Amino acid sequence: QLDAFPKHFLWGAASAAYQIEGGWNADGKGPSIWDHFTKIPGKTFKGTNGDVAVDHYHRYKEDIALMAEMGLKSYRFSVAWSRILPEGIGSVNQKGLQFYEDLIDELIKHNIEPVLTLYHWDIPQSLQDKYNGWESRQAIDDFDHYARILFDRFKDKVKYWVSFNEQNVFTALGYRWQAHPPNISDVKRMFESNHIINLANAKAINSFHELVPNGVIGPSFGYGPMYSFDCAPDNILAELNGEEFQNHWWLDVYVHGKYPKVTLKQLNRLGIAPTIKDGDMELLQSAKPDFLGVNYYHGGTVRANEIEHPLQIDEQDLEKDFQATDPYLMKPKEEQAQSPETRMFTNVSNPHLETTDWGWEIDPIGIRIALRRLQNRYDLPMMITENGLGAYDELGVDEKVEDDYRINYLSAHIKEIQKAITDGVEVIGYCAWSFTDLLSWLNGYQKRYGFVYIDRDEQDEKRLERIPKKSYYWYKNVIQTNGEE
Ligand code: BGP
């Protein structure tokens, strides 16, 4: 017998500014690093960008009406920093701020709890040009300044706040794999900027606790539980390493204000550990999130490496890894042993799991394992801030989208969350990714996640008709029955 979902469980859906808004230069918005990056030839699928996206900037009322009709309890969205401060600093663009105020008011009017993400990967391009963005400590203060503007303005309207979205993903893809902006491949610079982002996160959380006493804030982390390939003890050790390097490396800092020792020691050995200055660790320790946002898509499976604790990895080896690894999956393109920069484990495929059309493993039990491990180690309430299935949906001749595969996927994950709640884990909400179809960062508009289909018209890029899919009606019922379906 499973426990019921909590009475006020936040059944929701999530999005990010660049992926839905469009209006990339509307009403005084400045460019972000994504506006810049998607214009570099060859970087995204067929050169797709978010200039128009799904035009949510002009159609948010229509979208929120569909959310209300569905009975959504919460909606997670992100604010584009460069809409508020077109240059990242300086004077506020009142029209940009007003857009988010109108959006929030519209949500509240329909009894939908806003969940506001401060940073979903789009630092203003002018800060990138000016001082290399997250590589400069100036970004800590500038981010805090931006965050304080939002805290001040929305403190009485928004209770749930997310600081950074998937810091692990955007630092790795942006500074190591050249798959995201700022399009860099330099392991040392990746660890340096990651440390600076940790400091920015801590400083903003402290500001939040000073300015928004009735709200709660936490990061949204892209968590994938690590599995040992088998029960060989050296592979179990590799799992420990993988869990520490891929997950605790961030989460321990967020929650306990310290870097895990084994990974830090290995990074020091290799000369790629971040520069930690006086006062840094004190700042990290002073800020504690109120909850953890968990983005769950899939975990990772690992095996031991032949050499443990190498003293150096030469440039050629790093280059070989670079060529052989699929950055999104963090797995070798072919089944040959390649490993991430610490050489503490090797990522491999899991023979027990099927994959999506884009090769992402489908693993509902993994979400329960994730929640259990995170509860054990961090003991904070958790909100699933993303979970969903990217697929090639098709609009039938009858104008319907029969996305039973998505229903099966979401249903299986929700069931495992209920089991985790029955186990004793505190979960306060679930945001499916995503409400409408939207821009998949590198995969264009063909990889669809939404409950609402967006009919794109090549001739008329602003037509963008909204058509609820079968999963829309299914989720409506999930919400109505509080998870019973
Ligand atoms: C997460 C991001 C989301 C979203 C999702 C799906 O990592 O936080 O913004 O894009 O992944 O990713 P993709 O669009 O690459 O399939």
Segment 415-438, tens digit of pLDDT: 999 999 999 999 999 999 999 999
- Say if residues 439 and 50 touch (Cβ distance below 8 Å): yes
Query: What band does 336 get if pLDDT is binned at 50, 70 and 90?
Result: very low
Q: How far is the CA of 441 from the centre of ligand 1 (A)?
A: 7
pLDDT at 74 over 80: yes
Predicted confidence at residue 337, as pLDDT, reads 42
* pLDDT computed for residue 80 by the predictor: 98
CB 247 within 8 A of CB 223: yes
Lowest mean pLDDT among 291-295, 323-327, 338-342, 451-455: 338-342
Which pLDDT band, with edges at 50, 70 and 90, does 45 fall under? confident
**Whose alpha carbon is nearest atom 6 of ligand 1?**
440
- The pLDDT tens digits for 375-407 are 999 999 999 999 999 999 999 989 999 999 999
| Ligand 1 pocket residue status of 433, Cβ below 6 Å | yes
Output the six-digit token pair for 50: 């978010």
Please state whether beta strands 382-386 and 226-228 pair in parallel, antiparallel, or not at all (unpaired): unpaired
Q: Is 166 a catalytic residue?
A: yes
Q: Kindly report the backbone phi and psi dihedral angles of residue 178, in degrees, each rounded to the nearest multiple of 5, phi listed first.
A: 50, 30
Buried b (16+ CB within 10 A) or exposed e, 281-298: eebbeebbbebbbbbbbb
Mean pLDDT (the chain) is: 93
With cut-offs at 50, 70 and 90, classify the pLDDT of residue 332: low
Place 460 in a pLDDT band, splitting at 50, 70 and 90: confident
Residue 342: pLDDT band with limits 50, 70, 90: low
The total of other beta-carbon atoms located within 10 Å of residue 87's CB is 17
For the segment 29-39, the average pLDDT, to the nearest whole number, is 97
Give me the catalytic one of 21, 106, 135, 386.
Answer: 386
- State the pLDDT at residue 43: 86
Is the minimum distance from the CB of 166 to ligand 1 under 6 angstroms? yes
Does the pLDDT of residue 467 top 50, yes or no?
yes
**Cα–Cα nearest to 10, from 151, 159, 156:** 159
How far is residue 47 CA from its own chain's centroid?
22
- Categorize the per-residue pLDDT at 309 as very low, low, confident or very high, splitting at 50, 70 and 90: low
Task: Tell me how far the alpha carbon of residue 139 lies from the centroid of ligand 1, in angstroms.
Answer: 24
Q: Which residue's CA is minimally distant from atom 2 of ligand 1?
A: 166
| Dist. CA 273–CA 270, nearest whole Å | 8
Q: Tell me, rounded to whole angstroms, the distance of Cα 327 from its chain centroid.
A: 15
- Calculate mean pLDDT across residues 236-261: 96
Ligand 1 atom index nearest CA of 16: 9
* 485 catalytic per annotation: no
Write down the pTM of the prediction.
Answer: 0.95
**Beta partners for residue 430, in sequence order:** 11, 384
Mean pLDDT (whole number) for 217-246: 95
Q: Which of 21, 106, 166, 416 is the catalytic position?
A: 166
- Cα(186)–Cα(195) distance, rounded to whole angstroms? 15
pLDDT value at position 120?
A: 98
In short, whether 16's Cβ falls inside 6 Å of ligand 1 is yes
Whether residue 338 has pLDDT greater than 60:
no
The pLDDT of residue 335 is above 70: no
pLDDT tier, 469 (very low <50, low <70, confident <90, very high otherwise): very high
Q: Is 174 helix (H, G, I), strand (E, B) or coil?
A: helix
The confidence band for 317, taking pLDDT boundaries of 50, 70 and 90, is low
Percent of the chain scored above 70 by pLDDT? 92
Q: What's the angle, vertex CA 272, arms to CA 266 and CA 273, rounded to 5? A: 70
The atom number, within ligand 1, closest to the CA of 328 reads 15
pLDDT, residue 165, reads 98
